[in-house]
Amino acid sequence: MNLRFGEEVGESLAAGLAIVALESSVIGQGLPLPRNRECVERMSGAIRAAGAVPAWIGVVDGAVTVGLTGEELERFAVAGDATKVARRDLPVAVATGALGATTVSATIWAAAKAGVAVGATGGIGGVHPGDDPDVSADLLELARTPGLLVCSGPKSIIDPVATTEKLEELGVSIVGYGVDRLPFFLARAAPVELEHRVDTPAAAAAMLRAAQELDVRSTLLLCNPVPSEMAMDAGEVAAAAREAEALADRAGVQGKVRTPFLLAALAELTDGRSLESNLALLEDTARVAAEIAVASAG
């Protein structure tokens, strides 16, 4: 296995401590400087406050690393330095010695190999709106990687109904954390009813244990909505997302740069309020994931 471990994460793994896997694409491409630095502080802080250890994951000069140091994370935070790495991009990133910011798909792949079962992110990728839509590699990877990922639902630039259908087809359980409807990233709910719900870290940990014992080999997607006081109005988010899509279409932005483009456009169209919600939900998913990791380790 060709993974490199940060010192603290390596020791914590050996000691059986609670660990939470975190993606670095949100730092490299998802948030602008200096808000991405703030994201590192807030997510790591929330995880430590709950008694767990953060394991930021990324590719450092060709080494797939589980447990990035502060200095390494700073390299990801500097705009434009890191390339965006999905699972399909890992061999190229390794072979070329790249600095690669891993998306959910590459992050959960590495976390599973490392033996870290619980992870946190903001919004997952999914099926973009429109005919013949772009589909994020996150979805298939969630289907073939064991573990539990806490998120705030699909990003607001994603079609929530099509994404839910796809995950259902792929065998990924979507579970509401204290809610009955699918959270929708910056907004608290999408028009999608969920079949499953848990309300406590212990209940989530029990679900993870059952998945591991059954060897179902797909990720449990636990959806924790953005905190109420930081949530945006669903109608406003939808309108801004449509406008962002139109801007991307007009600029001809396709492929892996589309999601970062849409997130930046959303921030601009909402006078930065989407950034505040995004940071709040990232911090809260980190907290929830840490509480579940602690309950699982206990």
Closest approach of Cβ 163 to Mn ion, in Å?
13
Closest approach of Cβ 122 to ligand PSU, in Å?
2
Q: How far is it, in rounded angstroms, from Cα 123 to Cα 285?
A: 10
| Torsional class of 138: left (φ above 0), alpha (ψ -120 to 50), beta (otherwise) | alpha
Please tell me the count of residues contacting ligand PSU according to CB under 6 A: 19
Q: Which is nearer to ligand PSU, 273 or 295 (CB)?
A: 273
- Among the listed residues 6, 54, 67, 122, the single contact to ligand PSU using CB under 6 A: 122
> For the window 75-114, what string marks contact with ligand PSU as x by the rule CB under 6 A?
----------------------------xx----------
Beta carbons of 68 and 5 less than 8 angstroms apart: no
- Among the listed residues 38, 134, 236, 276, the single contact to Mn ion using CB under 5 A: 134
The active-site residue out of 84, 155, 166, 256 is: 155
Q: How far is it, in rounded angstroms, from Cα 53 to Cα 56?
A: 10
Closest approach of Cβ 102 to ligand PSU, in Å?
7
Read off φ and ψ for residue 119, nearest 5 degrees: -135, 165
259 lines the binding site for ligand PSU (CB under 6 A): yes
163 lines the binding site for ligand PSU (CB under 6 A): no
Q: Which is nearer to ligand PSU, 121 or 173 (CB)?
A: 121
25 lines the binding site for ligand PSU (CB under 6 A): yes
Beta carbons of 81 and 112 less than 8 angstroms apart: no
Alpha-carbon separation of residue 194 from 13, 88, 176 (angstroms): 33, 30, 7
Tokens of 39: 């994201």
> For the window 231-250, what string marks contact with Mn ion as x by the rule CB under 5 A?
--------------------
Q: How far is it, in rounded angstroms, from Cα 30 to Cα 282?
A: 11
Beta carbons of 40 and 58 less than 8 angstroms apart: no
Return the percent helix, strand and coil in the chain, to nearest 5. Answer: 50, 20, 30
Closest approach of Cβ 11 to ligand PSU, in Å?
27
Residues lying near ligand PSU in the complex (CB under 6 A): 23, 25-26, 29-30, 103-104, 121-123, 125, 136-138, 256, 259, 263, 278, 282
- The catalytic residue positions are 23, 155
